[in-house]
Amino acid sequence: MSDSIDIINAFALLTNFVLLPALSYGSQLALGALAVTLVYAILRFSNFAQGDSMAFGTMIVILLSGFMISKDWTISGFPTAVLAIPIAIIGTSIYMLTMDRLVYRHYRRIKIKQSIVGITASIGVMFITGGIVRFILGAKPQRFSDGERFIFSVREFKAFTGLEQGIALKTSQFLTITFAILLVAFLFYFLQKTKTGKAMRAYSDNKELALLSGIDPDKVVQITWLLVAALTTIAGTLYGLDKGFSPLQYHLLLLPIFASVIVGGIGSPLGAIAGAFLVSFSEVLLTYAYKKFLIYLLPLSMHPNSLVQLIGTEYKYAISFVILVIVLLVRPTGIFKGKVIVDE
Amino acid sequence: MNNFNNIWGLYKTSISFTIMALLLLFVGFNQSWSLVLGIVNLCLISSIMALGVNIQWGYAGLFNVGIMGFAALGGVSVVLISQQPVTEAVDAGGLKMLFALVLGALTIVTGVVLNKKGFNKWLITLLVVIGYLFTRHYFSEASDVIEKVDPAISGYLGGFGLPIAFSWIVGGLAAAGAAWWIGKITLSLRTDYLAIATLGISEIIIYVIKNEDWFVRGVKNVAGLSRPVPYEVDMQKSEWLQNIVAWIHRSKFELLSQSEQVTQLSEYIRGASVVFVKLCYSGIFVTILIALIILSNLALNSPWGRKVRAIRDNEVAASAMGKNITRQHLQIFVIGSAIVGVAGALLVTYDGIFIPTTYQPLRFTFLIWVMVILGGSGNNLGSVLGAFIIWFIWIQSGSMGIWAVEMIGSFTQEGNTITEFLEARVHYLRLVFMGTILLLIMRFSPGGILPEKNKEL
Q: How far is A115 from chain B (nearest CA, A)?
A: 7
Query: With 90 as the cut, is the pLDDT of residue B51 above it?
Result: yes
Instruction: Name the amino acid, one letter, at B352.
Output: G
| Model pLDDT, residue A343 | 43
**Which residues touch B34 (CB under 8 Å, ≥6 apart)?**
B271, B274, B275, B278
Residue (of B111, B180, B125, B193) closest to A327 by Cα position: B193
Rounded CA separation A284/A288 (Å): 6
Residue (of B49, B74, B75, B42) closest to B64 by Cα position: B49
Nearest residue of chain B to residue A129 (CA atoms): B432
A337 within some domain = no
Residues of B in contact with A340 (CB under 8 A): 190
Q: Which of the residues B418, B439, B443, B444 would you substitute to probe the A interface, choosing the one with the greatest number of A C-beta atoms within 10 Å?
A: B439
Q: Is A285 on the interface with B (CB under 8 A)?
A: no
Q: Is A130 on the interface with B (CB under 8 A)?
A: yes
Rounded CA separation B276/B237 (Å): 13
Query: With 90 as the cut, is the pLDDT of residue A26 above it?
Result: yes
B457 band by pLDDT with thresholds 50, 70 and 90: very low
- Residue pair B72/B344 in contact by the 8 Å Cβ criterion: yes
If one compares B410 and A244, the residue with the highest pLDDT of the two is A244
- Enumerate residues 134 to 163 of chain A having a beta carbon within 8 A of any beta carbon in chain B: 134-136, 138-139
| Model pLDDT, residue A296 | 80
Query: With 60 as the cut, is the pLDDT of residue B455 above it?
Result: no
Rounded CA separation B446/B221 (Å): 40
| Model pLDDT, residue A342 | 43
If one compares B13 and A231, the residue with the highest pLDDT of the two is A231
Which of A46, A131, A325 is facing B428, going by the closest CB pair? Answer: A131
- Residue pair A269/A37 in contact by the 8 Å Cβ criterion: yes
Rounded CA separation A49/A47 (Å): 5
Query: With 80 as the cut, is the pLDDT of residue A113 above it?
Result: no
Three-state secondary-structure class, residue A16 = helix
| Model pLDDT, residue B88 | 78
Rounded CA separation B171/B176 (Å): 8
Q: How far is B328 from chain A (nearest CA, A)?
A: 18
Domain count across chain A: 1
State chain A's mean pLDDT as an integer.
Answer: 86
Nearest residue of chain B to residue A136 (CA atoms): B425
Q: How far is A86 from chain B (nearest CA, A)?
A: 27
Average pLDDT of span B388-394: 90
Residue (of A212, A195, A187) closest to A272 by Cα position: A187
**Record: contact A318-B204, CB cut-off 8 A:** yes
Q: Is B435 on the interface with A (CB under 8 A)?
A: yes
Instruction: Name the amino acid, one letter, at A83.
Output: L
| Model pLDDT, residue A339 | 58
Which of A119, A127, A317 is facing B192, going by the closest CB pair? Answer: A119
| Model pLDDT, residue B416 | 67
Residues of A in contact with B129 (CB under 8 A): none
Three-state secondary-structure class, residue A71 = coil
Query: With 50 as the cut, is the pLDDT of residue B89 above it?
Result: yes
Average pLDDT of span A145-161: 79
Q: Is A131 on the interface with B (CB under 8 A)?
A: yes
Q: Is A244 on the interface with B (CB under 8 A)?
A: no
| Model pLDDT, residue B7 | 78
A209 within some domain = yes
Q: How many residues does chain B have?
A: 457
The dihedrals phi and psi of B354, each to the nearest 5 degrees, come to -105, 110
The enclosing domain of A153 has a CATH number of 1.10.3470
**Record: contact A121-B442, CB cut-off 8 A:** yes
Query: With 50 as the cut, is the pLDDT of residue A155 above it?
Result: yes
Q: What is the DSSP string of A262-275?
A: HHH-TT-HHHHHHH
pLDDT digits (tens, 9 = 90+) for B264-311: 778 888 888 888 889 999 999 999 999 999 998 898 888 988 888 888
Q: Which of the residues A135, A290, A342 would you substitute to probe the B interface, choosing the one with the greatest number of B C-beta atoms within 10 Å?
A: A135
Three-state secondary-structure class, residue A69 = helix
B224 band by pLDDT with thresholds 50, 70 and 90: confident
pTM of the predicted model, to two decimals?
0.86
Rounded CA separation B58/B383 (Å): 10
Q: Of the given ranges (A186-190, A306-310, B65-69), which has the lowest mean pLDDT?
A: A306-310
**Record: contact B366-A123, CB cut-off 8 A:** yes
HEC profile for chain B? CHHHHHHHHHHHHHHHHHHHHHHHHHHHHHCCHHHHHHHHHHHHHHHHHHHHHHHHHHHHCCCCCCHHHHHHHHHHHHHHHHCCECHHHHHHHHHHHHHHHHHHHHHHHHHHHHHHHCCCHHHHHHHHHHHHHHHHHHHHHHHHHHHHCCCCCCCCCECCCCCHHHHHHHHHHHHHHHHHHHHHHHCCCCHHHHHHHHHHHHHHHHHHHHHCHHHHCHHHCECCCCCCCCCHHHHHHCHHHHHHHHHHCHHHHCCCCHHHHHHHHHHHHHHHHHHHHHHHHHHHHHHHHHHHHHHHHHHHHCHHHHHHHHHHHCHHHHHHCCCCHHHHHHHHHHHHHHHHHHHHHHHHHHHCCECHHHCCHHHHHHHHHHHHHHHCCCCHHHHHHHHHHHHHHHHHHHHHHHHHHHHHHHHCCCCCHHHHHHHHHHHHHHHHHHHHHHHHHHHHCCCCCCCCCCCCC
If one compares A141 and B148, the residue with the highest pLDDT of the two is A141
Q: Which of the residues B64, B130, B192 would you substitute to probe the A interface, choosing the one with the greatest number of A C-beta atoms within 10 Å?
A: B192
Average pLDDT of span B60-82: 89
Angle, nearest 10°, between helix axes B417-425 and A114-137? 140
| Model pLDDT, residue B384 | 92
A336 within some domain = no
CB pairs under 8 A between A and B: 130
Rounded CA separation B413/A94 (Å): 36
Q: Is A297 on the interface with B (CB under 8 A)?
A: no
B454 band by pLDDT with thresholds 50, 70 and 90: low
Q: Is A67 on the interface with B (CB under 8 A)?
A: no
Q: How far is A261 from chain B (nearest CA, A)?
A: 11
Q: Is A120 on the interface with B (CB under 8 A)?
A: yes
**Record: contact B435-A262, CB cut-off 8 A:** no
Query: With 60 as the cut, is the pLDDT of residue A2 above it?
Result: no
Rg (CA), chain B: 26
- Residue pair B344/B74 in contact by the 8 Å Cβ criterion: yes
Which of B132, B203, B431 is facing A255, going by the closest CB pair? Answer: B203
Residues of A in contact with B429 (CB under 8 A): 131, 135
Identify the H or E element spanning A75.
none
Three-state secondary-structure class, residue A304 = coil
| Model pLDDT, residue A338 | 60
Q: Which fold has domain B33-85+158-444?
A: ABC transporter involved in vitamin B12 uptake, BtuC (1.10.3470)
A340 within some domain = no
If one compares A228 and B276, the residue with the highest pLDDT of the two is A228
Q: Is A251 on the interface with B (CB under 8 A)?
A: yes
- Residue pair A82/A12 in contact by the 8 Å Cβ criterion: no
Question: Would you say the ipTM is above 0.90?
Answer: no
- Residue pair A176/A157 in contact by the 8 Å Cβ criterion: no
Q: Which of A115-119, B74-78, B427-431 has the highest mean pLDDT?
A: B74-78
Average pLDDT of span A57-86: 88
pLDDT digits (tens, 9 = 90+) for B128-149: 888 888 888 888 888 888 887 7
Average pLDDT of span B111-126: 83
A319 band by pLDDT with thresholds 50, 70 and 90: confident
- Residue pair B81/B164 in contact by the 8 Å Cβ criterion: yes
Encode burial over A61-92: b for 16+ CB neighbours within 10 A, e otherwise: bbbbbeebeeeeeeeeeebbbbbbbeebbebb
Q: Is A121 on the interface with B (CB under 8 A)?
A: yes
| Model pLDDT, residue A187 | 94
Average pLDDT of span B108-136: 85
- Enumerate residues 80 to 119 of chain A having a beta carbon within 8 A of any beta carbon in chain B: 102-103, 106, 113, 115-117, 119
| Model pLDDT, residue A337 | 67
Rounded CA separation B385/B441 (Å): 15
| Model pLDDT, residue A344 | 40
State chain B's mean pLDDT as an integer.
Answer: 84
**Record: contact B185-A329, CB cut-off 8 A:** yes
- Enumerate residues 188 to 207 of chain B having a beta carbon within 8 A of any beta carbon in chain A: 189-193, 195-197, 199-201, 203-204, 207
Average pLDDT of span B330-342: 94
**Domains of chain B, residue spans:** 33-85+158-444, 86-157
**Record: contact B428-A139, CB cut-off 8 A:** yes
* Cβ neighbours of A119 (radius 10 Å): 22
Q: Which of A95-99, B396-400, B412-416 has the highest mean pLDDT?
A: A95-99
Q: How far is B87 from chain A (nearest CA, A)?
A: 28
Q: Of the given ranges (A120-124, A223-227, B192-196), which has the lowest mean pLDDT?
A: B192-196
Query: With 90 as the cut, is the pLDDT of residue A239 above it?
Result: yes
Q: What is the DSSP string of A111-173?
A: -S-HHHHHHHHHHHHHHHHHHHHHHHH-SS-B----S-SEEE-HHHHHHHH--SS---EEHHH
**Record: contact A124-B431, CB cut-off 8 A:** no
Residues of A in contact with B195 (CB under 8 A): 46, 48, 119
Average pLDDT of span B161-185: 90
**Record: contact B362-A127, CB cut-off 8 A:** yes
The dihedrals phi and psi of A260, each to the nearest 5 degrees, come to -60, -45
Residue (of A194, A199, A193, A192) closest to A214 by Cα position: A199
Average pLDDT of span A144-158: 79
| Model pLDDT, residue B362 | 66
Q: Is A341 on the interface with B (CB under 8 A)?
A: yes
